[in-house]
Structure formats: structure tokens, C-alpha cells
Amino acid sequence: MNGKINIVLIAFVLFLVMGCALVRKFNPITEGKPYLTPIPQATINAFKFGKPIPNKLDAVIAANYMTSSPSIVPVGSPVAIFVEELKLRDAYKRVEQTDQYGSRSGGSLVWLVAFEGDWEMTPPGSDSSRTFNGCMWVILNAGDGNKILSGGVTCDLWLKE
């Protein structure tokens, strides 16, 4: 009787381990296109910059942190609609920027992350703000997670593939 129970337990454990491995390998949160689940603010605040960004989820977390500026802040939780690791020159082309990389090489690896959502904009030197719906993008250095460039565009740009 104990032998049968042991076999059933071993089979169950193997089933769980294989299931977890498959979920990890094909997990849409870390490898799919849209990131529909909002990331808690505590996770964004706890992100440690200075290390390479290994995957899409970490790129979204780092970029989420970088979407706020003194003049533009997200209202609610914006949704990441584009996440890709690519060369800096290709990221600049994607967001329609001129090829001015500063001290960086156009072949440097970066993460380009775009969010769609509502944003509150306060022009510099103004006390009034307005809310708009649109897309904001961030280009991050893949080596340390620091922001290279960010901006806003109409969301139609992200529909081009």
C-alpha cells in the first residue's frame, strides 16, 4: 500500500514540476505582447537600477518607473502595449527620432517600452494641468536600466509593425 502511495505522490510532484516549467517557459507575462496586468506601485518603486535588464517584465517595470516626470505623470495604471529589446538606431527609427545618440553607439542594445493610458500634463512654470489619453514611450539602456530618451506620441504609431 505504501508503495502505491509513494508512486502516486511522485507522479503528482513530477506533474506539478513539469506544469510549472511549461508555465515559466511560455508565460505571457514575461514573453507575450501586451502586459494587461497593472504592475503594483510597490514593485515599480522597489526596482533596482544599475543591473542589466534580462527580460520584458523587468523592462516594463523599469520603464513604468521612468514614465513620470515633473511635467507628465500617469493617471491610474498605464498598459504596456509594446516591449522589445533592439538596437538603439532601430528604437530611434521606431519612435521617429533623429539619429543623435550622444556618446552611445547606434548598435547599443536597448529596451523600447510604450504605454497607453491617461496622463496628466502640467507645463513647466504653470499651476494648471490637463489630462489626455495617449501613448508614452521610454528607451532604456539594456545594460543598466537607465533612461536614454522618452516621449509621447499618438497611439497609431504602435499599430505599425
Written as one string, the DSSP assignment of 28-49 is HHHHSS-B-SPPPHHHHHH---
Asked whether residue 84 falls in the same domain as residue 99, the answer is yes
Q: Which domain holds residue 25?
A: 1-31
Q: CA-CA distance, 69 to 143, in Å (whole number)? A: 22
User: pLDDT (tens digit, 9 = 90+) per residue, 64-110?
Assistant: 877 777 778 888 888 888 999 999 999 998 888 877 767 677 788 99
Asked whether residue 27 falls in the same domain as residue 76, the answer is no
Q: Tell me, what DSSP letter sits at residue 63?
A: H
21 pLDDT above the threshold of 50: no
Q: How many domains does the chain have?
A: 2
Average pLDDT over residues 4-23: 54
| H-only helix segments in 115-160 | none
70 contacts: CB under 8 Å, gap ≥ 6 = 122, 124
Q: CA-CA distance, 14 to 123, in Å (whole number)? A: 58
C-beta of residue 101 within 8 angstroms of C-beta of residue 70: no
The structure's pTM equals 0.70
Asked whether residue 113 falls in the same domain as residue 130, the answer is yes
